[in-house]
């Protein structure tokens, strides 16, 4: 798999760090203890600042007709647009409008610190992509979501921001099941696990949203613990697991209708292979064969989340992050699986055959 981690030619290192785990693709720095926000910035080589600089045209020499010599075009400032530039190496990260407000990397980490007052949060990974135009941070929160007696789900916050004008600051609550590193993304009722903040927002607004995200995380973790424990007691057959996966991964309404009607001969080999891979992960992977997962709705849900997290191949690392955490296909499909599991847990496996929508 290709990687897009920023490579700092001055330091000769990639912009990434992780605690105790092997860094992406063997790149980046491994540290043994959880760092402070200031240390995490340095470990990930994100301790640079970005500034807006005017954009100019002109100052270009062009040859005229023979004998006419050369003409120098005067500098002209491009109105209302600026380049975002790293101050440490003058790399141009993007072009933004006059109202765009730069959120420095130090501010992004301070955003996390503010959520829990810096007490108990543990920075686990951080890195930069491309030339450093996009950064990401994951931080572990205190406590666990406990399913059954010994199936623990750690609670994480994920943040990404950009310096190229491509998107908002995005922060999300994302539980990770320790035993198989599945990212379990779920929105309960009308709640969402994601906060988006425009780059024009002021510091006070960002802090307000940070505390709102913490409130969402606390509520979600409590609700998810109840839901997952209910799912771990809801039985489902192997055939039911296969059907649930087919329904969750259906790429279109037409495919969904064919799955519901059991018109399996109409399904493409690409779709069938994807379903088989998710099913195989759920049925054969030893991490799934626990009391909480074997033959349960919770296990079926883990088959889908584990497929996207641990089995499916992505063209690039950034594609994987976008797909799983930033509203991409993996996030949509795992939400489908979550919604179906909710109904199966309430109404039984018969829902898969007669009532699924």
Per-residue pLDDT of the chain (357 residues), as tens digits, is: 344 666 666 666 666 656 766 544 455 577 788 888 888 888 888 999 999 999 988 665 555 555 555 666 677 888 899 999 999 989 999 999 988 889 899 888 877 777 656 566 788 888 888 888 988 888 888 888 889 887 888 888 888 889 998 878 888 888 877 666 677 777 665 556 778 888 877 767 777 777 777 777 888 888 889 999 999 999 999 999 999 999 999 998 998 888 888 888 898 999 999 999 999 988 876 556 677 888 899 989 989 988 888 888 888 777 777 787 777 888 889 889 999 999 999 888 888 875 454
Q: What is the pTM for the complete model shown?
A: 0.76
- Contact yes or no for 308/333 (Cβ under 8 A): yes
Residue whose pair of structure tokens reads 């380049």 in the numeric block: 83
Paired sense of beta strands 16-19 and 29-31, if any:
parallel
Segments making up each domain of the chain, as ranges:
7-48+101-228, 233-354
Paired sense of beta strands 92-97 and 61-63, if any:
unpaired
DSSP string, 190-243: T--SEEEE-TT--HHHHHHHHHHHHHHHHHHHHHHHHHHHHHHT-B--HHHHHH
Cα–Cα distance, 232 to 251 (Å, whole number): 27
């Amino acid at each position: 798999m290709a990687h897009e981690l920023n490579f700092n030619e001055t330091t000769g290192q990639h912009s990434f760090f992780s605690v105790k785990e092997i860094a992406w693709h063997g790149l980046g720095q491994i540290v043994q203890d959880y760092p402070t926000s200031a240390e995490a910035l340095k470990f990930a080589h994100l301790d640079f600042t970005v500034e807006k600089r005017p954009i100019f045209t002109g100052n270009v020499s062009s040859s005229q007709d023979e004998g006419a010599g050369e003409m120098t075009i005067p500098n002209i400032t491009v109105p209302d647009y600026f380049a975002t530039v790293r101050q440490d190496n003058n790399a141009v990260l993007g072009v933004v409008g006059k109202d765009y407000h730069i959120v420095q990397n130090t501010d992004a980490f301070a955003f996390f610190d503010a959520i829990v007052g810096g007490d108990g949060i543990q920075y686990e990974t951080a890195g930069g992509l491309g030339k450093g135009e996009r950064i990401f941070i994951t931080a572990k929160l205190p406590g666990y979501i406990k399913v059954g007696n010994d199936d623990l789900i750690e609670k994480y916050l994920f943040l990404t921001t950009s310096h190229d004008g491509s998107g908002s600051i995005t922060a999300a609550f994302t539980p990770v099941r320790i035993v198989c590193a599945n990212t379990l993304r779920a929105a309960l009722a009308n709640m969402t696990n994601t906060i988006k903040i425009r780059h024009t927002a002021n510091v006070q607004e960002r802090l307000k949203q940070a505390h709102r995200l913490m409130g969402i995380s606390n509520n979600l973790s409590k609700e998810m613990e109840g839901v997952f424990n209910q799912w771990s007691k809801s039985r489902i057959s192997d055939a039911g697991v296969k059907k649930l996966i087919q329904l969750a991964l259906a790429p279109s309404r037409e495919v969904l209708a064919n799955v519901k009607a059991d018109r399996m001969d109409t399904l493409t080999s690409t779709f069938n292979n994807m379903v088989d891979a998710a099913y195989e992960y759920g049925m054969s992977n030893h991490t799934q064969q626990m009391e909480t997962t074997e033959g349960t709705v919770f296990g079926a849900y883990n088959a889908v989340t584990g497929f996207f997290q641990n089995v499916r191949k992505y063209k690039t690392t950034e594609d994987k992050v976008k797909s799983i955490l930033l509203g991409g296909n993996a996030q949509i499909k795992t939400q489908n699986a979550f919604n179906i599991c909710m109904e199966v847990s309430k109404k039984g496996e018969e829902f898969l055959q007669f009532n699924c929508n």
